[in-house]
Amino acid sequence: MLTESFQKLYIQVSLQQFSYCIKNQVNNQVVQFKSFPLDPYKTIEQQLDVFFDKEEDLRNVFQDVLVLHDNNLNTFVPTALFDEELIGSYLQYNTKVFPTDYFDFDSITDLKAENVYVPYVAFNNYFLDVFGSFTFQHIHTALVQHFLGKSANNGNLECLIHIADNHFEVVLLKNKELVFFNSFEYQTKEDFIYYLLFVFEQLQLDPQKQAITLYGNISTNSELYQIAYQFIRFVEVADMDTIAQTLSVTHEQLKQHYILLHI
């Protein structure tokens, strides 16, 4: 029987949700997964106290703990142009930052890039008290690294799209290099296709030739898939049934928490 020393805890935090999964490091299967909404009228600490008191599994001893910060307060910077002393300046052009904000970055060695972002300090401080030590990174680092592992080095431009309930990420890769990344918030299918076609226009991609692959909260019955197929000729939904079986989670769980469960 495996002990907790063979298990790794993954936590995903945003201002709306706290989710976690525990993975068996030997077979990479998920042995526990839960997700809880966060109440904006209660403090982070109060709510985390409740979760950790109620969830005995969170109090186990783990081989490692990884926390994913889920927000769009990030930007990718080529390592050659990156200066850690100027870390806050990289975000000022695409998000509102404040003098009191804390900045951090993830190094993505394979891409020769740094992901600069604003982590949630309240979550990190809490986890430091609970675990003593842990690793944290931005969720888009995990997503890009995941897609990079799936990409081919064949000269073709790959357009990979991760879809969540109210936002989606567009990742373009070519020959194992990051060509483009952006995250867009949407409320309607019209929002979704507007931003997607805007990316195609800006990058001069041909909707009749450039294929896209959809991951996350999507299916061929989805209105997002249907509207994408109206304007883009080659639209594929990734096979998540096989992945779900491999990870030992439900198809719906994988759709809703693709990055957390698949990292």
pLDDT in tens, 197-247: 999 999 999 999 999 999 999 999 999 999 999 999 999 999 988 889 999
Does residue 191 carry a pLDDT above 50? yes
* DSSP tag of 208: T
How is residue 14 written in tokens?
């945003």
Q: DSSP alpha helices (H): ranges in the chain?
A: 44-54, 121-131, 139-150, 189-202, 223-231, 240-247, 251-256, 258-262
For residues 244 and 250, give the distance between their C-alpha atoms in angstroms, rounded to a whole number.
6
Q: What does the mean pLDDT of the chain come to? A: 93
Q: What is the mean pLDDT of residues 14-27?
A: 94
Query: What's residue 256's pLDDT?
Result: 93
156 neighbors 209 (Cβ within 8 angstroms): no
Query: What's residue 2's pLDDT?
Result: 46
For residue 195, report the phi and psi dihedrals to the nearest 5 degrees. -65, -40
Which residues, including other chains, have CB under 8 Å from residue 186's CB and lie 6 or more apart?
166, 167, 168, 192, 195
pLDDT per residue over 36-91, tens digit each?
Answer: 999 999 999 999 999 999 999 998 889 899 999 999 999 999 999 999 999 989 99
Lowest mean pLDDT segment, chosen from 6-20, 105-119, 236-250: 236-250
